[in-house]
Structure 1
Amino acid sequence: MSVRKSSGGFAPLRQPVFAVLWAATVLGNTGSFMRDVASSWLMTDLSAAPAAVAMVQAAGTLPIFLLAIPAGVLSDILDRRKFLIAVQLLLASVSITLMTLSHVGMLSVSALIGLTFLGGIGAALMGPTWQAVVPELVPREDVKNAVALNSLGINIARSIGPAAGGLLLAAFGAAVTYGVDVATYVLVIAALIWWPRAKDANDALSEGFFGAFRAGLRYTRASQTLHVVLLRAAIFFAFASAVWALLPLVARQLLGGDASFYGILLGAVGAGAIGGALVMPRLRQRLDADSLLLGSALVTALVMAALSLAPPQGLAVFILLFLGAAWITALTTLNGAAQAILPNWVRGRGLAVYLTVFNGAMTAGSLGWGAVGEVAGVSGTLVIGAGGLLVAGLIMHRIKLPSGDADLIPSNHWPEPLVAEPVAHDRGPVLILIEYNVEKHHRTAFLHALDRMSHERRRDGAYGWGVTEDSADPQKIVEWFMVESWAEHLRQHKRVSNADADLQGQMLAYHSGRDKPVVRHFLAINRPGAA
């Protein structure tokens, strides 16, 4: 069996299953953008208040903020194909309801916001799962290209969907626009039913929902590199959300356009994103991730300031090409940084946390900028947002994104724990003691390495960690950590990466004994009659 040494950017499309599902998702996302255009524009008919218009944006992103982490857990413990089909059925039912209400003239502000919220729930459940299935569809060497193609597909849909939605809305009305969206879901469901996915293998260490949920939160709390990515994302998207929240009003009030022109504006953003994606490889050869993110902030701020001046419609379309390029640069830079620092076992949950922060920033930003718009007006709000994004971008540039160079492949170098008899998987908690012998002149360096190791212990499953010394012999140092169950500790064995093994090797260099450090496992005892 030959192995390809290299692959082009479109190599994943040679895999029939990936190609079919990729095309289906492009169609599905195109329909979703058409639905969003119709909903945003209908809201301007129902209410011209900036807060009400921004509420549609918030209603679509708030569920993703609330549900992304549970969705990431579900994507790891359920059959992903069946789960995706169920989500598509939910989204189709939302669009069917919108189509029916708009056709009979009963669509109200509250109904539009409520149904947009339900659509956001579907998007929240679907997002982490789509990302998690990519490694199943292509060879390992094509995974990065497949992720890039997914981003390209979304922006193809972004460039086509809004423009087509605006044209359909202007020519045939909202009911037809929503109906076309329903048809796209039918195609996506058909593709998922066709997907010949093998059944998930039974795993004796498979996680339950709440255990997987806790493990994901533990990892997030302990991962300092993920904290940096989340902070950078939250600040950027909170300020950049101003242009998205108010764009329908920019199109109508500042630029004097109709529904079709609003679709053209969004299409220009999508086209700019495609162009940005195509030039991204060259930009990465010249600029690091921090410089790319700073450039995105500067360009987005300039676009917001330019739109506040109510330029001619043709010039506004041209300006939004740059917004699309800046937006895709920021998205891929931050998402790529998150992908690079997450090991496979927690990738879905880690990306779900990233999506939670992203959509939380977009939701809070949309609501906040809508409130500012009530006081400062559309133009004033864009200027304020541009200034804030410019200042924040310059400040955040000093907090560098992680390089993502660590080898996160499982090392499998921990030996199986010694047991006198089989231990029930649900028994716990488990206390692990590791005894080191460290000479006095190595003590400071050892403790520094041990502190870095503590983050690895917590990321991989420990909920408590500490270090003690023997009062009679200070050279004997004992590291201890606690895990909630025996099964979770066995999973911890499988989660340790090559990068963690290298760090452990550096720490063990300070151990002066001939033998390896002594490792002991202690299990909680259920005392008879204990409360």
Structure 2
Amino acid sequence: MPRFAPRRIPLPRAFLPLRHGVFRSLWLATLASNIGGWMQNTGAGWLMTSLDPSPMMVSLVQAASMLPVFLLALPAGALADIIDRRLFLIGAQAWILAMALILTALTMTGNIGAWGLLALTFAIGAGSAMNFPAWAATTNELVPREDLVGAIALNGIGFNLARALGPAIGGFAIAWAGPEAAFALNAVAFLVLILALLLWKRREAPGGGPKEHLVSAMRAGLRFVSASPAMRAAILRACTFFLFSAAVWGLLPLFVRQQLGLGPQAFGLMLGVMGGSAVAAGFALPALRGRLDRSGMVLWASLIGAVSMALLAVAQHWALAALGMLLYGASWIAAGSTLAAAAQLAAPGWVRARAIAIYQLSFFGVMAAGAALAGWLGGRFGVPLALGAAAVGAAIAAVLVRRWRIDSVAVAQTPATVAAIPQPEAPADELRPVLGERSGRVLEVVRYRIDPAERAAFLAAMQEVRRVRLRSGAEDWRLCEDVAHPERWVELWAVASWTEHLREAARLTDSDHAALARAAALHRGEPPEAARFIQVEP
């Protein structure tokens, strides 16, 4: 009889990133750790109600878990860029595991107090804050570019699954064996993630010039973001979306209690509807991406989010409120995963973790501000009016910022265009001993000869050159025109040291090279002259 090979069932498009074994194992392990994290939060909040049941102390549990994000996001991103990312992630998980074990032991022995619980909650939150930008920047290494957006959406799906499952499992664990059971299960979950990271054989990253120090790495990350239109657009679009949509997070408990007149079960139901909708929308996103670009996806998600908040503003029955939360969950995952993908694609490997950290810091900040503003409006004018104002603001803001596009455009690069970039002479032998981290500022100069008829084209090309120099490390940049000879131009920029100059050259991407080549192509005559000077104190 003829033998037939078993037919392989193709994966749904939303699951395609799981084809890649390392991403699959780390995604599953991260899902387990996220579930453990939500169990930890549930156990800590419940334990605080017995240690010190005052509303202030109970609310400080959540604050202690989130505050480290504001304090540590940027240094965490810088560290994840300048040391081996796999080892950094293992170290962060090991820290969380150690703190979780200490918390478990102290709770089991009855030696934990209210302030000790807050301190250990803060310590666990610090480990999570260190983990966030590193894990986000690692996704690019685990899947090819065509699967990146899907992988980020799966990360969002995993987070929402954990948010739905973690508190429920934590509640059962607390009822079964007390808060220490939730803390112990959290430790086990992070142990699983550590094992998955140990099994990951990360490929050696290509050299990116001399190693950076923490402070200079943070400065370089801030300069990159400020000079990157794509990153600025992603941050702006994220801030406008999360500022207004945070109203739901800030007002949902009051909305359920006061506007619907329902109890905690309805509150849990609303959160479950939102989480389930976010998961379902995450599975539908791959099909939608074939019809909408990233900018369009965020625009429509923002408008749907505005509609959802408008429905909540007028809802007096749980069914209409559930519909609003359904739309809200879908808009949240669609906008959040798309914006995260845009931020990751806008940042090259050498700065990716710290750029993502700045992106995360920005939207966490506006979420806190948005929730606080919504709470103030709700207390002064009522929950319906506050939600309605958020809906109107979200719709107006989405339309106003739509021209800041977050779609990256790849620029072709050929060896010929690389060769056209001006190259300075090698340093003189007698000066080599002073060229290093303490050389003082380095002034770099390129002289151009431009046909006056092409002045406008040259100025347009130099606008992008300016951004290239600032993104790659320049502290200052100038373009000067000779008043006696309009065809003569001088480009000047300064970096902190010779070592920083070497890093600058290693940071240039293909699109950066192409931008520099376009400017050099407008030069007439011999190739543009490039030179480097070190600052000397007389």
1:496 aligns with 2:508: yes
CA deviation map 1:96-140 (0-9, x unaligned): 5666777759765x6666555444322221011112223444456
Q: Which amino acid aligns with 1:257?
A: G
Please show how residues 22-61 of structure 1 align to structure 2 within 5 Å. Answer: 22-38=27-43, 58-61=63-66
Cα distance change on mapping 1:198 and 1:478 into 2, 3 Å: closer
- Verify the 8 A CA contact 2:153 2:333 in the aligned structure 1: no
CA deviation map 1:236-262 (0-9, x unaligned): 21221121233344455545333x654
1:394 aligns with 2:394: no
Cα distance change on mapping 1:216 and 1:176 into 2, 3 Å: same
Counterpart secondary structure, 2:475:
strand
Deviation at 1:11, TM superposition (A): 4.8
CA distance in structure 2 between the partners assigned to 1:101 and 1:379 by the alignment = 44
1:403 aligns with 2:417: no
Aligned to 1:256: 262
Counterpart secondary structure, 1:462:
coil
CA deviation map 1:11-68 (0-9, x unaligned): 543444332222110101112223334556778997796x888766554444223321
Aligned to 1:525: 536
- More deviation, 204-213/466-475: 466-475
1:212 aligns with 2:217: yes
- Verify the 8 A CA contact 1:57 1:366 in the aligned structure 2: no
Which consecutive unaligned segments of at least 5 residues does structure 1 have?
A: 1-5
Deviation at 1:76, TM superposition (A): 1.1
Q: Which amino acid aligns with 1:419?
A: P
Aligned to 2:239: 234
Cα distance change on mapping 1:112 and 1:316 into 2, 3 Å: farther
Partner residue of 1:349 out of 338, 342, 354: 354
Deviation at 1:526, TM superposition (A): 5.4
Counterpart secondary structure, 2:479:
strand
CA deviation map 1:60-84 (0-9, x unaligned): 4442233211111100122333322
Aligned to 2:136: 131
How many corresponding residue pairs?
A: 517
CA deviation map 1:173-218 (0-9, x unaligned): 5443344323312222232334344677887622222221221111
- Verify the 8 A CA contact 1:304 1:383 in the aligned structure 2: yes
Q: Which amino acid aligns with 1:24?
A: A
Deviation at 1:329, TM superposition (A): 0.7
Partner residue of 1:418 out of 411, 417, 426: 426
Partner residue of 2:462 out of 440, 450, 455: 450
CA distance in structure 2 between the partners assigned to 1:212 and 1:346 by the alignment = 8
- Verify the 8 A CA contact 1:53 1:246 in the aligned structure 2: no
Counterpart secondary structure, 1:164:
helix
Cα distance change on mapping 1:276 and 1:82 into 2, 3 Å: same
CA distance in structure 2 between the partners assigned to 1:519 and 1:322 by the alignment = 57
- More deviation, 472-481/516-525: 472-481
- Verify the 8 A CA contact 2:17 2:150 in the aligned structure 1: yes
- More deviation, 339-348/370-379: 370-379
- More deviation, 126-135/504-513: 504-513
Q: Which amino acid aligns with 1:441?
A: A
CA distance in structure 2 between the partners assigned to 1:32 and 1:196 by the alignment = 26
- Verify the 8 A CA contact 2:29 2:196 in the aligned structure 1: yes
Deviation at 1:477, TM superposition (A): 1.2
Cα distance change on mapping 1:256 and 1:172 into 2, 3 Å: farther
Aligned to 2:4: none
CA distance in structure 2 between the partners assigned to 1:313 and 1:43 by the alignment = 31
Aligned to 1:440: 452
Aligned to 1:121: 126
Partner residue of 1:281 out of 279, 286, 296: 286
- Verify the 8 A CA contact 1:436 1:517 in the aligned structure 2: yes
- Verify the 8 A CA contact 1:300 1:386 in the aligned structure 2: yes
- More deviation, 438-447/414-423: 414-423
CA deviation map 1:263-289 (0-9, x unaligned): 443333222112111211232333343
Deviation at 1:428, TM superposition (A): 3.2
Q: TM-score, normalised to structure 1's length?
A: 0.84
Cα distance change on mapping 1:210 and 1:354 into 2, 3 Å: same
Please provide the CA RMSD for this pair.
3.6
Counterpart secondary structure, 1:246:
helix
Q: TM-score, normalised to structure 2's length?
A: 0.83
Aligned to 1:269: 274
Cα distance change on mapping 1:395 and 1:441 into 2, 3 Å: closer
CA distance in structure 2 between the partners assigned to 1:20 and 1:96 by the alignment = 24
Deviation at 1:143, TM superposition (A): 4.5
Aligned to 2:5: none
